[in-house]
Amino acid sequence: MTYIGAATSRVDGLAKVTGAAKYAAEVRPAGLVHGAVITSTIARGQLKRIDVSEVLKVKGVLDVLTHLNRPEISADDQSYKDDVAPDGSPFRPLYDDRILFDGQPIALVVAETLEVAQYAASLVQVEYDRGPHITDVHRRMKEAPALEPTDATGADAYAPPNPRGAAEKAFAAADVRHQGEYHVPIEHHNPIELFASTAVFEGNGKLTIYDKTQGVQNVQRYVSRVLKMKPEDVRIMSPFMGGGFGSGLRPQYQVILAGLAALALKRSVRVVLTRQQMYGLGYRPAMVQRIELGAKADGTLEAVMHDAVTVTSQYERFYRQETGWSGLLYRCDNAKYAHRIAPLDLVTSCDMRAPSAATGVYALECAMDELAVALGIDPLELRLKCYSDRDQHNGKPYSSKNLRECYHQGAEAFGWGKRNPEPRSMRDGSDLVGWGMATGVWEALQVPIAVRIALTSNGHAEVSCATSDIGTGTYTIMAQVTADMLGLPLENITVKLGDSTLPQSPVEGGSWIAASVANGIATTADAVRRELLGLASKMPDSPLAGLVLEEVKLADGKIVSQQDPARGISIADAMRHGGVDRIEQEKATRFAKDETQAHNVHSAVFAEVKIDEELGIIRVTRVVSAVAAGRILNPKTASSQILGGVVWGIGMALHEETLIDHGFGRVMNANIAEYHVPVNADIHDIKVIFVDEPDQSINRLGIKGLGEIGIVGVAAAIANAVYHATGTRVRDLPITLDKLDRP
């Protein structure tokens, strides 16, 4: 059987549904105690006094750690930089008395039970010297510093691309022009699993920390530097993760607090953040974007100009490539970009699913819809008119781009040809019906990685890598690829991941792990096959004598000739004759940088909304997402990825918004009762189509990655459908019924 490309159920599914899978807050080492975090109630200033006298009287309280009494930590702020940290001076938990943002951890109460720790934490008395703060991006708009365009070397991949042509002149001369300002609020990740760390104090002074993270080796390096420990004395474990979406790319502060407490008390300590405290972590930055499009009367794009302002903290400069998507997707000779970042008294913003693309493409695709209306052209026709087979920034052809087929198959499945273009023209009883569409785009990325395979003579194999499975199905695809590469049944494969002692892996994010680890497995499997061939070739009268590596394959528990599968030797016989019970190989895989081609994934999203004309209630009743993303390893888990992205896109369009009281600099809806996300009743029919897109030039298995593309374009398609239904254009997310009532 061939497993790659087969719709395979999750190999870790049974462990998850039976509770056998243990998450960071579920392991129970002997002598475990619990920590409760105390956070600041001001956005900027200094700690004047922390009175813990009443806390220490509570039975069961073991200690209260503050900046005054915690174990020694690194004084060098650059020690706090992790693998994905932006420029600046990273936040240092419990380092000093400065308050940088509301919700900053200022103390940790440690007690024998969680309940005692939480109660005792409520008794801590804190006094502050409050300083002035700014948390409103609109107050920083004029003074927000601009990023310089990327230079010819591409040293800053997140800076705006260099302009091309004469965009302002072309815009002024265009037959039809569109100008619009689009707003995206701060959004928080809200994964089901809270951030948690269980620090196990080993008898030899070492730490093993079970942590919720998207990168165990990233956390291991971070913790060892901050706590001034030898790297080999810190082990990070994260075999299972209940959702990350970018929030777990960087180490969160609870891992340091748990480690500090374990070292101070010489006991195992667990620290779990509350849902409210999760809002004191990173978030999708708020964005204010201005798009200007100029076109000929026939729809040919003449000018694209995209300006953006995004939010960061006062102490770090986080930003992503927000505006470049506008100049990438559509053929246009004149383009200009600008990106400014507004430092606020908030925690640093961070990556959230499809960072920059989810927000930047939202503005672009809404603007394209508005241009189509101004031109009197069907929105799909306009996109086909402006279609480009080359990356417009550098002129490189795509290694593969089947977006035309995404448009075709998506439109056909949706029934786009039946659309009446007039706003408010389509109805279903008392509901207004709107149809909208948008394009999605993301990068096809791959990163250096190492994989170890151990094959035993009884036909079982263990494949291991330090990568994470953040719910995407990494366990399953690793098992599938290994089974195919070694010619073994899927049930004979064991997968180990999420352990910092395993072979090297970067953080899991950016949709790069599937392509990277799958090709890493193929590289290591080659080494296993080579060793097996060496053993088999030495057997008396070997049918494989004289064959080279490229001429043999592993299939059905044998090593056989590619040309004549009848010429073969069982793996067990080859290993037994060679006198080995186990073959173990570990290889690193690096991907050559292709300077001749561009690599991206694409999608076409079609959405239907039905809106109660009297109440303004919006329902997204249908979505079709057609995706071209190279070779699909597992249609079942891949479809789930796209479905999840579409659901989040619905949330982005209609529900999600972090509300800040700027007087206090505090999040007002720091819970999942008032921070609205889609629920079952909000989700109706979602159809996922995978468009065939073979691409052997990107890597040997032709894989591109799917994690991010599912959300890109969804919010725009829904916003465009809302306009089609109502005739009201809403440019600031989320789209709520009060905004539909605007004159």
Catalytic sites, residue numbers: 708
Place of tokens 């896109």: 649
Query: What's the length of the chain?
Result: 743
Contact partners, residue 446, CB within 8 Å, separation at least 6:
512, 515, 516, 519, 591, 698, 699, 705
Element (H, E) at 170: helix 167-173
Element (H, E) at 647: helix 635-654
Q: Looking at 365-503, which runs of residues are DSSP E strands?
A: 426-428, 431-443, 449-456, 461-464, 493-496
What is the rounded CA–CA span in Å between residue 567 and residue 109? 68
CA separation (Å) from 85 to 108, 230, 249, 260, 341? Answer: 25, 21, 9, 22, 16
Q: Supply 555's token pair.
A: 């299939």
Is the dihedral angle over the CA atoms 349, 354, 357, 360 positive or is it negative? negative
Which of 516, 444, 503, 504 shows the shortest CA–CA distance to 474? 516
For residue 727, give the amino acid letter: G
3-state helix, strand and coil shares in percent for the chain, rounded to the nearest 5: 25, 25, 45
What is the rounded CA–CA span in Å between residue 646 and residue 596? 33
- Gyration radius of the chain over CA positions: 27
Which of 557, 591, 562 shows the shortest CA–CA distance to 701? 591
Is the dihedral angle over the CA atoms 79, 81, 87, 91 positive or is it negative? negative
What is the rounded CA–CA span in Å between residue 415 and residue 435? 10
The upper half-sphere exposure of residue 514, i.e. CA atoms within 13 Å in the direction of its Cβ, equals: 30
53 burial class (0-12, 13-18, 19+ CB within 10 angstroms)?
exposed
The DSSP code for 93 is: T
Helix/strand/coil (H, E, C) string of 670-683? CCCCCCCCCCHHHC
Helix/strand/coil (H, E, C) string of 464-481? ECCCCCCCCCHHHHHHHH
What is the rounded CA–CA span in Å between residue 129 and residue 658? 27
